[in-house]
Amino acid sequence: MSRVVKLAVIPGDGIGPEVIAEAEKVLDAVTAQSDVTFDKTHFSLGAARFLATGDTLTDEDLDAIRAHDAILLGAVGGVPGDPRLKNANIERGLLLKLRFELDHYVNLRPSKLYPGASGPLAAPGDIDFVVVREGTEGPYVGNGGSIRTGTPHEVANETSVNTAYGVERVVRHAFALAAKRRGKLTLVHKTNVLVHAGGMWQRIVNAVAAEHPEVSVDYLHVDAATIFLVTNPERFDVIVTDNLFGDILTDLAGAVTGGIGLAASGNVNPSGAYPSMFEPVHGSAPDIAGQQKADPTAAILSVALLLDHLGLTAEAARVTAAAESDIVERDATARTTSEIGSAIAERL
Amino acid sequence: MSRVVKLAVIPGDGIGPEVIAEAEKVLDAVTAQSDVTFDKTHFSLGAARFLATGDTLTDEDLDAIRAHDAILLGAVGGVPGDPRLKNANIERGLLLKLRFELDHYVNLRPSKLYPGASGPLAAPGDIDFVVVREGTEGPYVGNGGSIRTGTPHEVANETSVNTAYGVERVVRHAFALAAKRRGKLTLVHKTNVLVHAGGMWQRIVNAVAAEHPEVSVDYLHVDAATIFLVTNPERFDVIVTDNLFGDILTDLAGAVTGGIGLAASGNVNPSGAYPSMFEPVHGSAPDIAGQQKADPTAAILSVALLLDHLGLTAEAARVTAAAESDIVERDATARTTSEIGSAIAERL
Ligand SMILES: CC(C)[C@H](C(=O)O)[C@@H](O)C(=O)O
Ligand SMILES: CC(C)[C@H](C(=O)O)[C@@H](O)C(=O)O
């Protein structure tokens, strides 16, 4: 009996379509021999679509996407400084809108240093952690505004909104993950300055910790966490943190583990009420778009996260193993985006 | 004709008194041969004072400190988790209160990699930049609050407040600094998400840039900036950024340039209306306090920033040179806090 998964594919802008083509190649290869079929719908969204039609994400788009079981996204965003995009905020209007509308409260970002992937650290040690970034609250809520805009008397505010409901659910998810991994959870915040939001995060972590005696818990201020990410990244297993701190830490984590060309992520709605979305951490990199220079590994590892999320654990493990062995065995020889994708697909 | 500088000294907690003793040793040595005299008043402030008296920073303390020409601070903060400090926020009540009350709108944090100082990067290149961190606005203003605190319905908000007045003055300072250095300024923010605050920062940087054709300007999102700090820190000359992003970036910058044992900082009120305050970037490190294990170099380099701020440029240069040559020539031999201080004082 075969299972059909309805997959929304959003290749996006810049290198997005190139890396998604390889991610699909790998997805097709791994499902060819299994009894699951992916029924794919491609959505043309992003800066290019905005320039062509003036739309970023319409209600119809959103309804159509919502009717899928999962989403695979490449990258969105036009050429920085393009005057035609001046008033379009593709990030807020498309990427963040999807995360918020589809209640992707767990932004899952694994970091692992593979032998063969060379990062900037002299002695990186054995890096293998996951950042569980809150995805629907914090300074990302868009509750900002300004008065006397553009004058010498302008005041521009941004409000970080945090709820016990929102924090508790992501903290619970992080504890469950830590319990399945090495049993270590680190809360990262800035409790000494952001006393209200930080205080609530700390209280909720303490409360959930009491239910998880098998997980050891510590706390780091976000500034100190960046130090440890470069001096002792081995110490981390699961990091749970706020939307903005998670954004910052995961780019740094990607860099220390060999570059964001390898960093995969999932925007997950664990309840299953909405489709979850999987995407490389990197952006659309318009400067190298169309040149077959992008590394599709992050997009391919995002497919593995997607398969895992759908309960297709065997397929997920095969994709991960294929991508990992490609990373481990790669040398300095330059390969095109498509060559890397094919090499990984062939290993399956 | 001799000049007298009234200096407020706040050794603080943990390793603060140890590193300040060495900073004073060096200050005494460099002024011994000059015609400037430092008239020092020691203030006993910090967690220890709070535990003894219940006071963090009284109006009388503040008035007394305000009557000085400059401030030298070690580090403040008690043992993490000390239940007696549960309701004391020494950071907000003392350190941030001083920065805000004394209008320290330029938080100056130089980062330089000296030969001999080994950081975590395999190929760090030639790191030499200054972060100009805004010091009186942003998410640090303390405009947060929560409702239904401690219940499942809690909502905790934190508001980042940013004014054109506050941003313009720090941006002007950063441009003037860049013009005196290598002529390169990087704005770091998160304009794609924090559109109101970020938009204002960007507009003000653009406006001031028009008056500084000699300075080349670029922009990085804070997440991308952390990547460049580990993959290509050479690219930076002057970074201008918001209070919270500056906090995060300077800890990371300290780490990549050999550890925060070397990172000095100034909390500067360039108008001179209030005394400026100089302090190492590191904290009070209660775990190694009283053991003569702390490196006093950051405190000593903070003295150099202090001298420079007071226009004592020759003295500043001598302290910097002495500290730098100590760094360059140090080997793996462990030295006590006091041995390092004496070694630097002797080089003067
Ligand atoms: C593009 C941007 C809005 C986004 C974010 O800040 O979350 C990106 O940096 C990421 O990490 O996915
Ligand atoms: C102690 C803390 C409030 C402070 C800050 O966040 O500014 C510290 O981290 C710093 O960088 O000086």
B277 lines ligand 2 (CB under 6 A): no
pLDDT score recorded for residue A1: 58
A195 lines ligand 2 (CB under 6 A): no
Do the domains A120-256 and A1-108+263-348 match in fold?
A: yes
Between B113 and B117, name the one with better pLDDT: B113
Predicted pLDDT at A226: 98
What's the average model confidence in pLDDT over B243-255? 97
Chain B CB contacts of A148 under 8 Å are 164
Phi–psi pair at B251, nearest 5 degrees: -65, -45
Chain B hits for A156, CB-CB cut-off 8 Å, are: 162-163, 196-197, 199-200
Residue A259 labeled ligand binder: no
Residue nearest to atom 6 of ligand 1 (CA): A247
In this prediction, residue A94 carries a pLDDT of 96
Mean pLDDT, rounded, of chain B: 96
Q: Within 13 Å and on the Cβ side, how many CA atoms surround A68?
A: 22
DSSP B204-234: HHHHHHHT-TTSEEEEEEHHHHHHHHHH-GG
Residues paired with B337 in a beta bridge: none
| A247 CA distance to ligand 1 middle (Å) | 6
d(C-alpha A170, C-alpha B34), whole Å: 60
* Domain covering B1-104+274-348: architecture: 3-Layer(aba) Sandwich (3.40)
Residues in chain B closer than 8 A to A161 (CB atoms): 155, 157
B97 is a catalytic site residue: no
Could you read off the pLDDT tens digit of each residue along chain A, which spans 348 residues? 589 999 999 999 999 999 999 999 999 999 998 899 999 999 999 999 999 999 999 999 999 999 999 999 999 998 888 889 887 889 999 999 999 999 999 999 999 999 878 899 999 999 999 999 999 999 999 999 999 999 999 999 999 999 999 999 999 999 999 999 999 999 999 999 999 999 999 999 999 999 999 999 999 999 999 999 999 999 999 999 999 999 999 999 999 999 888 999 999 999 999 999 999 999 999 999 999 999 999 999 999 999 999 999 999 999 999 999 999 999 889 999 999 999 999 999
Q: Identify which ligand lies nearest to the alpha carbon of A136.
A: 1
* Domain residue ranges of chain B, discontinuous segments joined by +: 1-104+274-348, 120-256
- Which chain B positions have a beta carbon within 8 Å of A233's beta carbon? none
Only one residue has tokens 């793996």, namely B332
Q: 3-state DSSP call for residue B76?
A: coil
CA-based nearest residue to A9, from A31, A32, A37, A39: A39
B195–A161: do the CB atoms touch at under 8 Å? no
Best of B230, B234, B287 to disrupt the A interface by mutation (most A CBs within 10 Å)?
B230
Q: Give me the residues paired with residue B5 across strands.
A: B38
Identify the pLDDT of residue A129: 98
Query: Ligand 1: distance of its center to the CA of A92 in Å?
Result: 9
Choose which CATH entry (1.20.950.20, 3.30.379.10, 3.40.1280.10, 3.40.718.10) describes domain A1-108+263-348: 3.40.718.10
Are B108 and B253 within 8 A, CB to CB?
no
> Do A235 and A256 form a contact (C-beta atoms < 8 A)?
no
- Closest residue CA from atom 1 of ligand 2: B91
Residue listed under structure tokens 């006093």: B296
Give the number of whichever ligand sits closest to the CA of residue B251.
2
Residue A66 makes CB contacts below 8 A (sequence gap 6+) with A102, A274, A275
Task: Say if the Cβ atoms of B248 and A226 lie within 8 Å.
Answer: yes
Edge-first strand listing for the sheet containing B216-221: B36-42, B3-12, B70-75, B276-280, B264-268, B106-112, B128-134, B238-241, B184-189, B216-221
- Please determine, for residue B2, whether its predicted confidence score (pLDDT) is greater than 70: yes
pLDDT tens digits, B60-102 = 999 999 999 999 999 999 888 888 988 778 999 999 999 999 9
Sheet holding A155-163, edge to edge: A138-147, A155-163, B155-163, B138-147
A202 is in an annotated binding site: no
Percentage of residues in chain B having pLDDT higher than 90: 91
What is the C-alpha separation between B340 and B297, in angstroms, rounded? 8
Contact assessment for residue A174 and residue A240, using Cβ atoms and an 8 Å cutoff? yes
What is the reported pLDDT for B262? 94
What's the pLDDT at A79?
A: 87
Q: What is the DSSP string of A165-224?
A: HHHHHHHHHHHHHHHHTTSEEEEEE-TTTSHHHHHHHHHHHHHHHHT-TTSEEEEEEHHH
Return the closest-CA partner of residue A226 out of A202, A201, A253: A253
Question: For a pLDDT cut of 70, what percent of chain B falls above it?
Answer: 100
Residue B288 pLDDT > 80: yes
Nearest CA to ligand 2 atom 5: B247
What's the pLDDT at B1?
A: 58
The CATH class given to the B120-256 domain equals alpha beta
Answer yes or no: is B308 a known binding residue: no
